[in-house]
Amino acid sequence: DGETNLKSRKVAPTGPGGVGSRFESLADLAAVRGTVECEHPNADIHHFLGNVMLSDLPGEQVSVDASNLLLRGSTLRNTRWAAGVVVYTGTETKIVMNSSDPPSKLSNMESTVNTMVWIILFAQAVLSAISVVAFVIWKSLYEEDTWYLCESGDDAPTELFREDCDDTAESSEFGQYFTFIILYNNFIPISLYVTIEMVNYVQALWLDWDIEMYHEETDTPALCRSSGACADLGMIEYIFSDKTGTLTRNVMEFRRCSVASTVYGAPPENDEAGDLPDEIAAAKPSSEWTGLDALVAKATTDPTSAEYEFVLSMAIAHTVVLEKGDDGKEELQAESPDEEALVKGGTRLGVEFRGKDGNSAVVSVNGEERAYEILAIIPFNSTRKRMSVMVKTP
């Protein structure tokens, strides 16, 4: 889907009759016999429906969806191994069905040069046609006096110039047309393309060497992949961005919240209020500001309070994966920086996300781990503008 962040995938439902509970060894996996029924190949990478039927469970079937599908081109992370069944191959895979030939791209400079060359070529063709007409007129007026052209003229010196001359030979107007095309070949500036490519190459080098385009935090210099587009950079007047993070640093940090009509967190700073309209910045809040410490105290001591449910939602209503590296260091991998900021905010408020164990989300409150079984998930979408989970309390 164009993003490189981790996507949450899971095995087919386990438990009585489930697929995962059938295999305890490689021998069990090798001996399995069954059938997979799924939808016809299509390009929708967010949708998949199918059923798995095993021979040792006649009459029973396990439903699978997009959360059980590992697409071609994906990299398996956060687990050592996985066993699966190939359902789409070759040109029927979703990544191939979504692929298309890249469009031909030309810079404004290249488009302008190509247009001018076509105009010059047209002018050359017209000028050659005019020259042929002028040649025919000139020939009809002075043909008898041009004996040295060896086309006609009986009074030419035979022995000096006309030994092998054919008096009956005539030059066609069609041949003369291409003669003039060759004579006017310098009209088309062939060397212009070479000059433009050399200039673009030097401009690309200057972009790569520009210290002001160097990102020190990630040690990433500028990299010009298309030298032909360098000239277009100076013609840009407007930049349109579809989301935050494209043009900004996109640093998400949990600052404040409102729970049960109580606002927790620090008041807006001057630089934040400066971005608001004057009438909003000058307005008085409907309730007093309460520090986050008060929210932490209620959330960690009273599991029946609205504050605890609020922070608990931050800790379990997400698709974040807790990944452990080879060095044992834990790191949150989220599909969006918003989710990562909310999970880190939950940890800061006393409810720490400790990963997932099967279908359960594990959180830690005051050092005590609690597992909440996830019964259903309604993913985030732009219409609802939220994500919902249904859980079973321990």
Average pLDDT over residues 107-116: 86
> Which among 136, 156, 137, 159 is positioned nearest to 145, based on CA atoms?
156
For 14-50, what is each residue's pLDDT tens digit? 555 556 556 677 887 788 788 889 999 999 888 899 9
The predicted structure's pLDDT at residue 125: 93
Active site residue 242: yes
Q: How far apart are CA 171 and CA 36, in angstroms?
A: 78
The predicted structure's pLDDT at residue 118: 92
For 252-301, what is each residue's pLDDT tens digit? 888 888 888 888 887 766 555 555 566 555 556 555 678 888 888 988 88
The predicted structure's pLDDT at residue 9: 82
Is the whole-model pTM more than 0.95?
A: no
The predicted structure's pLDDT at residue 108: 82
The predicted structure's pLDDT at residue 8: 77
Contact between 147 and 155 (Cβ < 8 Å): yes
Average pLDDT, the chain: 80
For 43-71, what is each residue's pLDDT tens digit? 988 889 998 887 777 777 888 888 889 88
Query: For residue 109, how many C-alpha atoms fall within 13 Å in the half-sphere facing its CB?
Result: 16
Q: How far apart are CA 35 and CA 50, in angstroms?
A: 10
The predicted structure's pLDDT at residue 129: 94
Amino acid at 229: A
The predicted structure's pLDDT at residue 75: 83
Better-scored residue on pLDDT, 255 or 122: 122
How far apart, in Å, are the Cα atoms of 258 and each of 154, 163, 274, 357? Answer: 111, 110, 22, 31
Asked if the model's pLDDT at residue 152 lies above 50, the reply is: no
Q: How far apart are CA 358 and CA 20, in angstroms?
A: 11
Of 68-82, 125-139, 147-161, 245-259, the range with the lowest mean pLDDT is 147-161
Which range of 9-18, 273-282, 380-389 scores highest in mean pLDDT? It is 380-389
The predicted structure's pLDDT at residue 343: 92
Query: For the stretch 157-167, what's the b/e string if a residue is b when 16 or more beta carbons lie within 10 angstroms of its beta carbon?
Result: eeeeebeebee
Of 163-167, 177-181, 199-203, the range with the lowest mean pLDDT is 163-167
Better-scored residue on pLDDT, 320 or 146: 320
The predicted structure's pLDDT at residue 62: 83
Query: For the stretch 331-349, what's the b/e string if a residue is b when 16 or more beta carbons lie within 10 angstroms of its beta carbon?
Result: ebbbbbeebbbbbbbbbbb
Asked if the model's pLDDT at residue 145 lies above 80, the reply is: no
Of 69-83, 116-130, 186-200, 293-307, the range with the lowest mean pLDDT is 69-83
Of 98-107, 122-131, 238-247, 341-350, the range with the lowest mean pLDDT is 238-247
The predicted structure's pLDDT at residue 12: 78
Amino acid at 138: W
Better-scored residue on pLDDT, 243 or 84: 84
Q: How far apart are CA 177 and CA 136, in angstroms?
A: 11
The predicted structure's pLDDT at residue 131: 93
User: In the 8-state DSSP scheme, what is residue 220?
Assistant: B
Better-scored residue on pLDDT, 309 or 217: 309
Handedness of CA 128, 133, 135, 136 (dihedral sign): positive
Average pLDDT over residues 311-321: 89
pLDDT band at 126 (very low <50, low <70, confident <90, very high): very high
Which residues, 6+ apart, have CB-to-CB distance to 339 below 8 Å?
318, 319, 320
The predicted structure's pLDDT at residue 159: 43
| Phi and psi torsions of 20, nearest 5° | -65, -30
The predicted structure's pLDDT at residue 275: 56
Out of 242, 275, 278, 327, which one is annotated catalytic?
Answer: 242
Of 8-17, 324-333, 380-389, the range with the lowest mean pLDDT is 8-17
